[in-house]
Amino acid sequence: MLDNARSHGLWELTAPAAPETAELRGSIKVDTAIVGGGYTGLSAALHLAEGGANVALLEAVEIGFGGAGRNVGLVNAGMWVMPDVLPDMLGGDYGERLLGLLGDAPKLVFDLIDRHRIECEVERAGTLHCAVGVKGMKELEARAAQWSRRGAPVELLNAADTEAKIGSSAYAGSLWDRRAGTIQPLAYARGLARIALNAGAKIFTRSAVISAARIGGKWKLQTADGSVVADRVIVATDAYATGPWSEVTMEQVHLPYFNFATQPLSDNIRASILPERQGAWDTNEVLSSFRFDRAGRLVFGSCGALRGTGAAVHRSWAKRALKKLFPQIGDVRFESEWYGLIGMTDDNLPRFHKLAENVIGFSGYNGRGIAPGTTFGRLLAIHALGQLDEKDLPLPASSPTKPNFRNAKSAYYEVGAQLLHLVQARR
């Protein structure tokens, strides 16, 4: 997209074509206008249309342009925050409600894929959170115990069992979450767009909202060549927000994350790495992730941006790290590379915002956009349809607040990851 191979990399090369959309021209009236064409916006559009609402979605660039088209493709349950901590942070009702919803969130994703036959390379073998050393193992032991008490199908694996699942002896153990899996993330976003259109939603691309005004009890959203008049607005832009209500991105610190995809590996090597096709990531503070695509490419990623000197530094580190993790690969050759931004909130929890009268949205997914985004989009739709009270949402309403030293923290993440990978690549 935007003639930049590093924006969406492998996912754009291998996803089915996006459904046909066009720019908004002229003026239309709808019940609900949605700003943003990622998982949250598309899920909201689908479920609103299925509920009989007249809905229009406005996307500034193309479907899946933001995090939906750039992420690793791990369909995870829950959030980064430990399960037992959530009720303390949010209060018992909100905390347990959020845990239940996000614990079941992968199931909603997989059910949508099955029901609508979305072609997105879905794998349902779970994910593996891999322990680095004693400290990492203690973290996973606590996480496993807390999820197990809630009846989640998770299993703590020792080093030997982890090696059998992964094909590497690098880890002290792992947490296998059977609720989870992997998808081709841009293909899933395009699939959501297709079924939303089929359900009756209107989707306009290359239609950035440049202004918003409250007129006669309704909202008028202006684009370069058109406008939408709506009773209510759902803001679903997250870390890539621009224009009206861009404060949702200003309350996040941006953590860059890159991915490299190898050439398709030979059958015998593929059989020795993640033989059951789980997706995986580790407990390092500057974490690494790895998973296969359907064609046998190993997708390997970590924190950092592929721009300036970072491109060469992270590429060199990735080759060395991947060869150390899986020496059976031999000479590592990358076919694609790309990166995007993860929006991190100060407590690693998402937000529910009432940005103005009849303007609402969820944001701040902290690197867990696929399942939470799909689930929160559905909740916003049900709420907009009048079938769910605000008090029954999984988060209390809050106002966006800009974190202290936001820009400095974002720069620190990018520079710090590059320096760390530079040192590690030379070892």
Residue with the two structure tokens 């409600």:
97
Instruction: With beta carbons less than 8 A apart as the criterion, state whether 321 and 332 touch.
Output: no
Amino acid making up residue 255: L
The pairing of strands 173-177 and 127-131 is antiparallel
User: Tokens at residue 144, please?
Assistant: 């496993």
- pLDDT value of position 426: 80
Report the distance separating Cα 298 and Cα 320, nearest Å.
Answer: 14
Q: What would the mean pLDDT of 361-381 be, rounded to a whole number? A: 96
User: Which residues on neighbouring strands pair with residue 30, listed in sequence order?
Assistant: 230
Report the distance separating Cα 195 and Cα 183, nearest Å.
Answer: 17
Instruction: With beta carbons less than 8 A apart as the criterion, state whether 23 and 209 touch.
Output: no
Residues ≥6 apart with Cβ < 8 Å to 117: none
- pLDDT value of position 381: 98
Report the distance separating Cα 201 and Cα 10, nearest Å.
Answer: 28
**Residues in the chain, overall count:** 427
DSSP strand E in 317-399: where?
334-344, 351-356, 359-363, 397-398
> Crossing angle for the helix pair 105-116 and 92-103, nearest 10 degrees?
40
Cα torsion 273, 278, 284, 286 to 10°: value is 90
Q: Is 238 helix (H, G, I), strand (E, B) or coil?
A: helix
User: Which residues on neighbouring strands pair with residue 200, listed in sequence order?
Assistant: none
pLDDT tens by residue, 201-254: 999 999 999 999 999 999 999 999 999 999 999 999 999 999 999 999 999 999
Instruction: With beta carbons less than 8 A apart as the criterion, state whether 212 and 219 touch.
Output: yes
Please, what's the b/e burial string for 142-180 (b: 16 or more CB within 10 A of its CB; e: otherwise)? Answer: ebbebbeeeebebebbeeeebbebbbbebbbbbbbbbbb
Q: What would the mean pLDDT of 138-152 be, rounded to a whole number? A: 97
User: Tokens at residue 298, please?
Assistant: 């190993």
User: Tokens at residue 296, please?
Assistant: 């046998």
pLDDT tens by residue, 243-290: 999 999 999 999 999 999 999 999 999 999 999 999 999 999 999 999
Residues of the chain with pLDDT > 90, as a percent, come to: 93
Residue 194 has pLDDT above 80, yes or no: yes
pTM given for the model: 0.97
- pLDDT value of position 1: 82
**Residue 198: how many CB atoms within 10 A of its CB?**
12
Report the distance separating Cα 282 and Cα 292, nearest Å.
Answer: 16
- pLDDT value of position 332: 92
What backbone torsions phi and psi does residue 334 show, to the nearest 5 degrees?
-95, 140
Report the distance separating Cα 311 and Cα 383, nearest Å.
Answer: 43
**Residue 422: how many CB atoms within 10 A of its CB?**
16
**Cα maximum dimension of the chain:** 67
Residue 158 has pLDDT above 90, yes or no: yes
Residue 427 has pLDDT above 80, yes or no: no
**Residue 266: how many CB atoms within 10 A of its CB?**
12
Report the distance separating Cα 246 and Cα 238, nearest Å.
Answer: 8
